[in-house]
Structures are given as structure tokens and as C-alpha cells.
Amino acid sequence: MLVSVAVQMGGWFSSTPELALEWLENSARTFLSVLIDLSYFTVFVGWRGQTPGKMLFRLRIVRGNGREVGYGRAFVRWIGQILSALLLGVGFFMIAFSRKKRALHDRLAGTYVVRLP
């Protein structure tokens, strides 16, 4: 409902309502995508140290001392993933050249990915 009201108002104040609608649609789509991505990675990693994919492959994210990650570090780790993507994937390629197999987001958050027995 809120979106439809905003679209209507955009049409009233815009000389080209189609452009206003397109801008609003793109903005809403981007906002929802970021919110879903943030929620997925921060909540799962902060709550259990695993996303569903990591659960499937028996992997867990832990702090350097082996303790739980927590929501704050999970958020920092998510920001690091975005930074890695913005750097054209260089942050992810760090895994291949790191002795401890840590990506940029792991270094920023002080985390490791470990294999469960």
C-alpha cells in the first residue's frame, strides 16, 4: 500500500510519471535485495555460525578463539563480502593465496571457516 501511494504521489509531481515509477520500482527492488542479503548472512551466521549452504557442507564460521561469531561480527563479515565484490572479487581470491585460507571478509571480522567432523 505504501508503495502504491508513493507511486501515485510520484505521478502527481513528475512531468514523466513513467520515469518516477521506474525509479521507485528500481529503488524498492534494490532496497529489498540488500535487506534480504543482509538478513540472510547476518542472522544465520550470527545465530548459528552457518548459512544453510554451510550446514549442507558441514562448515562453520568461528572466531579466532573458536567461539561463536555473534551478530556484530557477522555484520562486519557481510560488509567485507560486499567490499570483496566491489573490488572485482579480489577479496575472495585471497583464499587461494592464503595459508590459512581466509578471505578479506574473514580477516576483517576475525573469523575462520572450519570443517565440522
Q: What is the pLDDT of residues 78-113, one digit of tens each?
A: 999 999 999 999 999 999 999 999 999 999 999 999
C-alpha to C-alpha distance for 25 and 109, rounded to whole angstroms? 34
Residue 114 confidence (pLDDT) above 90:
yes
Backbone angles phi, psi at 115, to 5 degrees: -90, 130
Q: Please, are residues 63 and 111 in contact by the beta-carbon 8 Å criterion?
A: yes
**Residue in the block written with cell 510519471:** 17
Q: Which of 31, 27, 36 is nearest to 6 (CA)?
A: 27
pLDDT-based confidence at residue 16 (cuts at 50, 70, 90):
low
Q: Which amino acid is at 86?
A: L
What pLDDT score does 20 carry? 73
- For 55, which DSSP code? H
Task: Enumerate residues 6+ apart whose C-beta is below 8 A from 85.
Answer: 91, 92
As a whole number of angstroms, the distance between CA 59 and CA 70 comes to 16
The mean pLDDT value for 59-68 works out to: 93
Quick one: average pLDDT of 48-76?
95
CB 43 within 8 A of CB 70: no
